[in-house]
Structure 1
Amino acid sequence: MKHIWRGSLIDDGELLDNLRRLPDEINDTLQESLKTEDVLDACEKLSAVMLEYKDEKMKAALAEDECENPKEFLAELADNISRKSLTTKLCAELGTDRPFEIKRINYRTQNFEAWSPMGVLVHITAGNSIVVAPMAAVEGLLTGNINIIKVASNTGSFAAWFFSELSKYSNISKFIYMLRVSSKRKDIISEIIANADCVSVWGGEDAVSAIREMTPKGIPIVTWGHKISFAYITPDSMDSAISGLVHSVCRNEQQSCSSPQCVLIDTDNTADVDKFAKMFSEALNSCGIPQKTPDLAQCAEITTVTELHKSDIYFNGGDIIEADDHTYRLLICYTPKFMPSPLFRTVWISPMPHNEVIKRLRGMRQYLQTAGLACNINDLAILTDLLYRAGVTRVTPVGSMSVSYTGEPHDGVFAMPRFLKRVSMRTELPLTGILNLSELREPEEMHFNGKIQGKADYPPVPENGTRILMKSGGTTGEPVYCSYTQNDFDKYIIEPSIEALLSRGLDPEKDVLADVLKCGNLYGGLNCFISVFDKMNAPHLSISGLDNFGMVADFMIKGKATAILGAPSYILRLFEENADKFKKYGRIKKIFFAGEHMSDGQKEYLKSFGLETLVPVLYGANETGSMGISCDYCPSGVYHVCSDIQHLEILKMDEDKPVDEGEVGRLIFTGFKRENGHTERYEIGDTGRWVEGPCQCGRKQPRFELLGRYGDVIRMGGTFFNYQKIGKILSDDLKYSGRLQLILERAGLNEKMIFCMENISISSEELTKVLLNSGYDSFMKTVPTGLVEIEARILSPDEFIINNVSIKLKSIIDRR
């Protein structure tokens, strides 16, 4: 049993039979998509298995592959394939952790781009490292490709275990083949390469040439050849560089491409070279890192190179310092020299003034990789630039030349873009506000079964802090502190907000938007939308909801505002107090509102100022982020679920069961991609119902109608009243366009509902008559019998009670 075929172990006999049906299997698999999220989940789980170090088959495979420090090896590999590391790698190399989503590339045109898998990726790996095959395959899986990995015939036990385990998750098995065959089996290698859309080759020039001959014309070949690394040290940094250099040379006998084979001194003085060599020799003598003994062929190469250098000394000068036990040797030159080393603590040392670096190294530019640089800060920029221009692709400290960071380029390039195509799409079909073509596909079905959560269950702020911290406004109770990672903020705040604004008519090229949402006190509002408008490259005036309404109007006019974003109650008062200014100015045509309902009467009042667009844009909250966006085909109060980040359930008002068709229920959200502040089945405190049928905008995300807060339903006089319905009565029957605040009080043995209103002349008796004539049965059951008393109270703008954090109107104040 030597090979892995779609996750299963097979032997040599089965391999030849399976190869015949490989083209058909590939064609079938290419009709499926490998989801990035599934790969990340699988790698995260496998990472945990490796860290546990309990799997006996894994231990046996590492022993078969002669892994010297298995726990250390597994810890490093586990870290490299963790979700966090791979997500960082995706973002560094591809600019996103969702590479296959066909996204709008700017907000002014309908130009879309995405990464797309090449198809079949054949990896020809080297036999000198057991980590190459697993990591190469992970990169291939992250790029959505079918991976055929050829490993050396005498290794691959750990790779086989790794691929077998990885294949247990999701549908990954269909995308993995591992063949443990000799490079001499050109018949088999040619057959797998014939199916390739891209070939990735690890090895020397001969190996790469052989693969090139077998690869059909036009198929890209990605090469990862042998590299040479070195240390470059200035004389004033020699003392400080010695210890680190010893570590880099001895840690794995210079076997890594990033290990130093030469030491170049920025000098033309041979005394500096001798001084350094002596210091380095003394440090090597006291090195406590055990040495791996070279085999017979390696010993022969070391002897040959050493003896040739002895001969060269007679002509060009130089020296050799060799340990008495032959554990190391320093080949010292007095003229600039750059050569590969036979390794095993064999180091070339020579002078190379910085003005000769390019001339001396450029001839080896295709082989250069890492330069361990030891210098002072005054020389850092100059020497780094020289080394890059000579062909070096990495500059590191001398003592950590083989240390890498997540997302670092390899040999001067990123791997994953070479395994992908960059695809584009333009269309004349109307895609207003659609940022991602995934919105035109049915959302994936999800199910969550945990207990219903509320504010008391909201996750605390992480002990080490968070990238962004917001606090809910507290309009409906105690505020919640809401933590977001940068990834959370982008997915749950920035992207949905951009889509919502574009969907409802904001033109980032022509509009100047005045933002009068509240800021400060850790409230989201304006602070979030500054980032939104910056990402859109849209002109905006970050004014905030100031108490000086005249100043706000002046700022808008000075800034040439054409649109406003804010809470309805604030916008209404702004226009009321600056009516003459805005009518004279006449350039504000669009109002985008959120956080509160705007009645038809209020809309009609604002349209008298020449406004053409008055639309809700976004349904969201500080604790959950964005939950829904509206489009031009959504009636007021109707939203599309943000299905790429949120899952919505609507449950019955009195039990945790799904509502029936058309029934009003509680909105329960699960932000399944949140990192910080993750909640499952979170009860946001709002009511709504499903809206059936497709939307003309083309989005397949389900729609729902938002019907208000639980608190909008008032129990008085033994029955229920709905704040939104009361507001509609006033708008329809009185053409009322102002703010409405209801105060509930005791009136002896009965109760009183106080209607706080503005800019209207009406008595309590007249208001009572309007409410009874409306036909709303809750009033007809309670008012005539005296159970509920109605009082009209006309207030000035400053007398309304608002939330000081969100500047939203407190619609209901219960004083009973």
Structure 2
Amino acid sequence: MKPEPATAELTTAGLATAEPATAGPHFWQGSFIDDEEAARRLAELPELAARVLAEPLSTELVLDACHRLADALGTPAGPVRTRLLAVLTDGGTAPAEASATLAEIADAIARPALERKLRRELGGLRPERLTRPDARETTFEAWAPVGLLVHIAPGNAAAVAPLTVVEGLLTGNLNVLKTSSGDTPLAQHLLAELAAADPTGALARRIVVLRFSSARTEWLRLLCEPADTVAVWGGEEAVRSVAGLVPAGCRLVEWGHRISFAYLTRDAWSDGATLDALAADVCRFEQQACSSPQVVYLDTEDDDEVFSFAERFAAHLADASAEVPRPELEPAEHAEITTTELIARLEEHLGLTRVIAAEDGSWRVLADTRPALAASPLNRSVWVKPLPRASVLAVLRPMRRYLQTAAIGGGRADVARLSRAVLAAGVLRVTPVGGMLDGYHGEPHDGVYALQRYSRRVSVRADEAFATTACLDDLAAPAAIPAAPGGPLLDKAGVQERLRTLAPDHAHLYFRSGGSTGAPALSVFTNADYDTQMRAAADGLLAAGFDPARDRAANLFYCGGMYGSFISFFSILERLNATQLPLAAGPDHAATAEALVTHGADTVFGMPSYLWQLFHAESAVLRAYGGIRKVFYGGEHFTAEQRRVLTEEFGVQLIRSAAYGSTDLGPLGYQCTHTEGSVHHVLTGLHTLEILDPEADRPVAAGEPGRLVFTSRTRAGQRLERYQIGDLGRAVDGVCPCGSHTPRIELLGRYGDVVRIGTYFLNVRRFIAVAEERLGYRGELQLVLDSGDGRERIAVRLDERYAPDPTAAHAAFLAAIPELGSATAEGLLTCTVETAATTAFERTPTSGKLRTVIDRRRTTA
């Protein structure tokens, strides 16, 4: 983003407008109005602020609208870009400059840029939510808006005005922007387009843009008196005039004049490429930006070296100037340049200065033997001065209030040492030569983060009744969840196809699925996306009853082969600041049990099938220990009988899902202390959920089962929209007894749980329920499907440790599952029951998850 102007004066020139005669010059909450209406509404500004600020603003809403506008600005012949280009060019802006301005704004408000800004400045993508910065404590903190935020923008930097309002919106404020009466009405029209990009109208209610001269002090007074913060862009006189109107207790944010310079060591000033880059910086934006070089300092005390360098640099500046068209100067600018050059030429007779200037006056180099910092008259005018490095602090520190950027040219050690010196003197930014006007998304502005200046850090300290509450807002009201996008549904094959075109900067972290429902699939995250997801899952774990202040957790998920469960829960526990034993699942159950006992683990995380094996393989040790109080599982479910055994025989007090998620989408839901079975809250901060009819692409009726379709909203690279995850579920009505307004779903299994065999559809979960309810079975169950001579075969595999007599089990299944009994009686299907050791059950090699259905018909057909 182009830095702020070096000469940001509040102009009182006449109005230049591209608006139709019927439109007013001011934009007020979605409408263009005239002076008379603006004056009336200004008098009611305090009441307006109270009404608007009573409604919280979701940061995600701002990101979505900015994303839509950025896309529109980037569409060459699109209507939005066409309209805004006309606003600029009709106001006197050259077409090339107008196009560059819109490109600059589009880049600054693109979603990746704003997300990076939010993460850097406010710590995350939802800074307005009251969350626990330390999960061990029930203290909630958030960034709250300052309230009524008044922006007084400069008259000579078109992008500054709308972008400062975007910053105000990201922080949830009611924004009133004053633009110069001599500026183009770009800010009004661009912010009107931004408001139109938000279908809820919430952004429009928070935007007011007034276009008037600073000579209208009564209007300025009406703006400033009710303000909570006033941000003013301009020189000392402009800031002083506004400061006199700001009431006591109102925060004044000054974005004032700054001066920047280049500092060259001997090696750097002898390098032609360095001088070319420096000359380009001088010509860019006619030095109108605060980060433009106005002085070139040389690391020398020799006056002759200063004059010699000035001669050589003048040649480079002449070449650079010839390549960049020079705009016409205003009379005041021309007069200032003439006066400065004339005085310097007079001082040549004293041996103090030397002036090298273009014959046509298009550029000038002013060599001066005195090191004191001096502002140049801009417009390709630059001072050259000596400043030995030992004198940097003494010479520059008196001007520390005005210093901004220093470009340092030299060796690596020179850059390191000189950076420390100029920063100590008051400089705010250090850049390479040739990059003074470049920046990066999330860069501090004049030594501070703008979003923090437009916010308040607030806190709520609660008692232990809130131990399982991760976000206080969830207890207050339902969160606003953006609607799912339109378009076709996405399946796993579509996700894998999209990976072929994924940009490298969006692919930081690679995971593979466990492969329990097919071939392992790849999923890719940025590091920032992964962090956001792990923090959301960590919040869900708090709700499930995990206590990071007291619990000692053993991570027993599977690890290796790019499988993500162990790594993810390591990250989740780390973000909770919890005590953890990263053991991972392994075949040596004795060693694992010994580690649990030795290190006092009282909480275990893992797959149910692995944990079930561990508890039984080392039952004597773990029963004697009796210290495992909590079990958090993922990927599968414990049956009711297995839960009973863990509770009654091993002393486990809490058994709960650690998370509902997938490798492709990450965490999707969480359990709370009041959810039972397969019911989960949806992580609506990450995803939008649709529940669609199993047979058609339409929403199901309330409470009816259907296909779960997720749209991930916080993925920078691998954006997954309307992704069919392969699960079935239904919405659970009402507010959860835990008090959270976050919606809930009941998981009803996967598509693969239902198989067609012998012309009938059979659900593996029905077999599990029959075994548990009628046979008292507590082990694992697996269906093996195969082809036979004229009929298909289904084998029900049971754990021999808990299996009843196979004949009795066979009869129970035929009696309790009518479809199975009918297919067998009709000769369409052969059903058998077999018992086996748990080691004979087939599992996915990566995750260790039990394969509940093994269909061998595909390989024998």
The reply to whether TM is greater than 0.5 is yes
**1:613 counterpart letter in structure 2:** L
* 1:489 partnered with 2:524: no
Return the alpha-carbon distance in structure 2 between the equivalents of residues 662 and 302 of structure 1.
75
Pair 1:679–1:404, CA change in 2 (3 A): closer
C-alpha contact 1:517 1:565 (8 A) present in aligned 2: yes
Pair 1:768–1:168, CA change in 2 (3 A): closer
Return the alpha-carbon distance in structure 2 between the equivalents of residues 752 and 204 of structure 1.
84
Deviation per CA, 1:86-125: give whole Å up to 9, x if none. Answer: 2222222222222211212111111111111122111112
Which of these residues, 235, 238, 251, is aligned with residue 266 of structure 2?
235
Return the alpha-carbon distance in structure 2 between the equivalents of residues 78 and 761 of structure 1.
66
Q: Which residue of structure 1 aligns with residue 6 of structure 2? A: none
Q: Which residue of structure 1 aligns with residue 111 of structure 2? A: 83
Aligned pairs for 1:589-738 within 5 A? 589-607=629-647, 608-659=649-700, 663-716=704-757, 719-738=760-779
Q: Which residue of structure 2 aligns with residue 375 of structure 1? A: 410
Which of these residues, 454, 463, 468, is aligned with residue 491 of structure 2?
454
Q: Which residue of structure 1 aligns with residue 219 of structure 2? A: 188
Q: Secondary structure at the match of 1:253?
A: helix
Which of these residues, 742, 756, 761, is aligned with residue 798 of structure 2?
756
**2:516 counterpart letter in structure 1:** T
**2:85 counterpart letter in structure 1:** K
Deviation per CA, 1:728-774: give whole Å up to 9, x if none. Answer: 3333444332222222345655544333323146432232355467x
**1:30 counterpart letter in structure 2:** L
Q: Which residue of structure 1 aligns with residue 10 of structure 2? A: none
**1:70 counterpart letter in structure 2:** A
Deviation at 1:140, TM superposition (A): 1.8
Aligned pairs for 1:431-510 within 5 A? 431-440=466-475, 441-444=477-480, 446=483, 450-458=487-495, 460-461=498-499, 462-465=501-504, 466-492=507-533, 494-510=534-550
Q: Which residue of structure 2 aligns with residue 573 of structure 1? A: 613
Deviation per CA, 1:317-350: give whole Å up to 9, x if none. Answer: 4433333443333332334222111223332222
Return the alpha-carbon distance in structure 1 between the equivalents of residues 263 and 702 of structure 2.
74
Return the alpha-carbon distance in structure 1 between the equivalents of residues 814 and 681 of structure 2.
36
Structure 1 runs not aligned, ≥5 long: none
Return the alpha-carbon distance in structure 2 between the equivalents of residues 165 and 765 of structure 1.
73
C-alpha contact 1:316 1:335 (8 A) present in aligned 2: no
Return the alpha-carbon distance in structure 1 between the equivalents of residues 820 and 353 of structure 2.
106
Return the alpha-carbon distance in structure 2 between the equivalents of residues 63 and 429 of structure 1.
61
Q: Which moved more, 1:44-53 or 1:530-539?
A: 44-53
Which of these residues, 291, 306, 311, is aligned with residue 273 of structure 1?
306
Return the alpha-carbon distance in structure 2 between the equivalents of residues 715 and 325 of structure 1.
87
Q: Which residue of structure 2 aligns with residue 110 of structure 1? A: 138
Q: Which moved more, 1:464-473 or 1:372-381?
A: 464-473
Structure 2 runs not aligned, ≥5 long: 1-23
Q: Secondary structure at the match of 2:708?
A: strand
**1:596 counterpart letter in structure 2:** E
C-alpha contact 1:513 1:565 (8 A) present in aligned 2: yes
* 1:128 partnered with 2:156: yes
Pair 1:160–1:382, CA change in 2 (3 A): same
Aligned-residue RMSD, C-alpha: 2.7
C-alpha contact 2:549 2:578 (8 A) present in aligned 1: yes
Paired residues in the alignment total 814
Deviation per CA, 1:254-310: give whole Å up to 9, x if none. Answer: 222111111111122223222312211222333323334433333332333334334
Deviation per CA, 1:60-97: give whole Å up to 9, x if none. Answer: 32234433422222222221122222222222222222
Q: Secondary structure at the match of 1:167?
A: helix
Pair 1:163–1:726, CA change in 2 (3 A): closer
Return the alpha-carbon distance in structure 2 between the equivalents of residues 59 and 458 of structure 1.
38
**1:583 counterpart letter in structure 2:** R
Return the alpha-carbon distance in structure 2 between the equivalents of residues 696 and 258 of structure 1.
56
Q: Secondary structure at the match of 1:399?
A: coil
Q: Which residue of structure 1 aligns with residue 834 of structure 2? A: 793
Q: Which residue of structure 2 aligns with residue 215 of structure 1? A: 246
Deviation at 1:391, TM superposition (A): 0.6
* 1:96 partnered with 2:133: no
Q: Which moved more, 1:715-724 or 1:215-224?
A: 715-724
Deviation per CA, 1:147-167: give whole Å up to 9, x if none. Answer: 222122211322233233223
C-alpha contact 2:502 2:718 (8 A) present in aligned 1: no
* 1:298 partnered with 2:333: yes
Return the alpha-carbon distance in structure 2 between the equivalents of residues 632 and 383 of structure 1.
57
Q: Secondary structure at the match of 2:651?
A: coil
Q: Percent identity?
A: 36
Return the alpha-carbon distance in structure 1 between the equivalents of residues 829 and 159 of structure 2.
77
**1:129 counterpart letter in structure 2:** A
Pair 1:720–1:343, CA change in 2 (3 A): closer
Q: Which moved more, 1:449-458 or 1:530-539?
A: 449-458
Q: Which residue of structure 1 aligns with residue 233 of structure 2? A: 202
Which of these residues, 802, 810, 829, is aligned with residue 768 of structure 1?
810
* 1:518 partnered with 2:558: yes
Q: Secondary structure at the match of 2:469?
A: coil
C-alpha contact 2:779 2:798 (8 A) present in aligned 1: no
Pair 1:34–1:700, CA change in 2 (3 A): closer
Which of these residues, 36, 39, 43, is aligned with residue 59 of structure 2?
36
C-alpha contact 1:262 1:341 (8 A) present in aligned 2: yes
* 1:358 partnered with 2:386: no
Deviation at 1:697, TM superposition (A): 0.7
Return the alpha-carbon distance in structure 1 between the equivalents of residues 355 and 754 of structure 2.
91
Deviation at 1:395, TM superposition (A): 0.8
Pair 1:663–1:244, CA change in 2 (3 A): closer
Return the alpha-carbon distance in structure 2 between the equivalents of residues 328 and 784 of structure 1.
99
TM-score, normalising length: structure 2: 0.88
Deviation per CA, 1:169-206: give whole Å up to 9, x if none. Answer: 32222222222211111111111212311111111111
Which of these residues, 93, 98, 114, is aligned with residue 67 of structure 1?
93
**1:669 counterpart letter in structure 2:** F
Which of these residues, 38, 46, 52, is aligned with residue 69 of structure 2?
46
Pair 1:77–1:367, CA change in 2 (3 A): same
Deviation per CA, 1:205-238: give whole Å up to 9, x if none. Answer: 1111111111111111111111111111112210
* 1:12 partnered with 2:35: yes
C-alpha contact 1:647 1:671 (8 A) present in aligned 2: yes
Q: Which residue of structure 2 aligns with residue 160 of structure 1? A: 188
Pair 1:656–1:348, CA change in 2 (3 A): closer
Which of these residues, 852, 856, 860, is aligned with residue 811 of structure 1?
852
Q: Secondary structure at the match of 1:92?
A: helix
Pair 1:609–1:14, CA change in 2 (3 A): closer
Pair 1:717–1:149, CA change in 2 (3 A): closer
Return the alpha-carbon distance in structure 1 between the equivalents of residues 292 and 488 of structure 2.
54
Return the alpha-carbon distance in structure 1 between the equivalents of residues 45 and 550 of structure 2.
55
Q: Secondary structure at the match of 1:127?
A: coil
* 1:259 partnered with 2:292: yes
Return the alpha-carbon distance in structure 2 between the equivalents of residues 67 and 447 of structure 1.
40
**1:484 counterpart letter in structure 2:** F
Return the alpha-carbon distance in structure 2 between the equivalents of residues 682 and 290 of structure 1.
51
C-alpha contact 1:235 1:272 (8 A) present in aligned 2: no
Higher relative contact order (CA 8 A, sep 6+): 2
